[in-house]
């Protein structure tokens, strides 16, 4: 099969410590003819990221041996929140409507605004609010995802009409669509850890990909991702899907214009 997963991760060691700080990551699924261009673009991105200069860039290029699963793109909406207080209130209200308990939602906010930067996403039981990922420092890394070739131009048109056709939005929407396609995940909340990117989102099949501007103040490096797990769901199976199952996002329904 002529499909390849290309992924990049850039990091920098923290002086006098074993730990490293995440600088940038990106990935896609493409055909063999596009590997070179894709990998060069990712390396350029790692070298020009606002989080600074990495001292390690790892690019992995891997052939897929099974056809990727086709998953639907979540409909995109943007809220009109104008400061972090309003934005975080909207996150909270949306999560509570989705059957996420207040405790779970508050614990998620702590992950997003806490000092400790996680490499991947946190998983929180939507009822008890307890963390469920096996390694809470590493978290879970959603991987092996891309946009179906037939959907790329419609996606670009749809996002351009709204003035948001950027790599950041395309990649976050693809990731959120992969996460939302798993039946054990009730919702996701995300706040970018880029200091110059303040829009975050809540995503779930019933709310779509709800972009929430001004979730934090410009210059803040806080951020992260949290997935809310259905109580009693099989965590291992869900992690296996998020990290290992190759998926391509396609557009199935006409998109609302907002
Ligand atoms: C990220 O940096 O990965 C998260 C970006 C979240 C928001 C993207 C958007 O503007 O829709």
Contact predicate 3/66, CB 8 Å = no
pLDDT of residue 254: 67
pLDDT of residue 258: 58
DSSP conformational letter for 126: T
Ligand 1 atom closest to residue 175's alpha carbon, by position in its atom list: 3
pTM, rounded to two decimals: 0.93
pLDDT of residue 255: 65
Per-residue pLDDT tens, the chain, 258 aa: give them: 799 999 999 999 988 777 888 899 999 999 999 999 999 999 999 999 988 999 999 999 999 999 999 999 999 999 999 999 999 999 999 999 999 999 999 999 999 998 777 779 999 999 999 999 998 888 999 999 999 999 999 999 999 999 999 999 999 999 999 999 999 999 999 999 888 999 999 999 999 999 999 999 999 989 999 999 999 999 999 999 999 999 999 999 766 655
Contact predicate 35/3, CB 8 Å = no
Alpha-carbon distance of 6 to 27, in angstroms, equals 6
Radius of gyration of the chain (CA): 18
Contact predicate 213/87, CB 8 Å = yes
pLDDT of residue 191: 96
Give the up-direction half-sphere exposure of residue 201: CA atoms within 13 A in the CB hemisphere: 25
pLDDT of residue 83: 97
Q: Between the CA of residue 166 and those of 65, 85, 238, what are the distances in Å?
A: 30, 26, 29
Domain boundaries, the chain: 3-67, 70-250
Q: Between the CA of residue 190 and those of 4, 43, 179, 185, 199, what are the distances in Å?
A: 27, 24, 12, 14, 9
- Give the distance (Å) from ligand 1 centre to CA of residue 172: 5
87 Cβ closer than 6 Å to some ligand 1 atom:
no
Q: What share of the chain is helix, strand, coil (3-state, %, to 5)?
A: 30, 30, 40
- Give the distance (Å) from ligand 1 centre to CA of residue 96: 22
């Amino acid at each position: 099969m002529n499909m390849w997963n290309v992924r990049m991760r850039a990091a920098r060691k923290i002086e006098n410590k074993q730990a490293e700080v995440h600088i940038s990551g990106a990935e896609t699924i493409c055909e063999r003819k596009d590997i070179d261009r894709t990998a060069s673009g990712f390396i350029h991105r790692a070298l020009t990221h606002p989080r600074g200069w990495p001292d390690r860039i790892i690019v992995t290029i891997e052939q897929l041996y099974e056809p990727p699963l086709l998953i639907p793109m979540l409909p995109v909406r943007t809220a009109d929140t104008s400061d972090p207080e309003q934005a975080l209130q909207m996150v909270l209200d949306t999560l509570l409507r989705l059957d996420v308990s207040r405790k779970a939602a508050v614990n998620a906010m702590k992950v997003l605004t806490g000092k400790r930067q996680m490499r991947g996403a946190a998983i929180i039981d939507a009822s008890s609010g307890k963390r469920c990922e096996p390694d809470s420092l590493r978290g879970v890394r959603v991987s092996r995802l891309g946009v179906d070739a037939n959907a790329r131009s419609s996606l670009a048109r749809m996002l351009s009409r709204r003035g948001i056709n950027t790599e950041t939005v395309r990649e976050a929407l693809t990731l959120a669509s992969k996460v939302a396609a798993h039946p054990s995940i009730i919702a996701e909340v995300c706040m970018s850890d880029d200091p110059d990117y303040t829009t975050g989102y809540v995503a779930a099949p019933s709310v779509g990909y709800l972009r929430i501007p001004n979730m934090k103040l410009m210059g803040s490096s806080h951020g992260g991702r949290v997935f809310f797990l259905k109580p009693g769901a099989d965590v291992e199976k869900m992690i296996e899907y998020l990290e290992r199952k190759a998926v391509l996002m396609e557009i199935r329904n006409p998109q609302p214009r907002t």
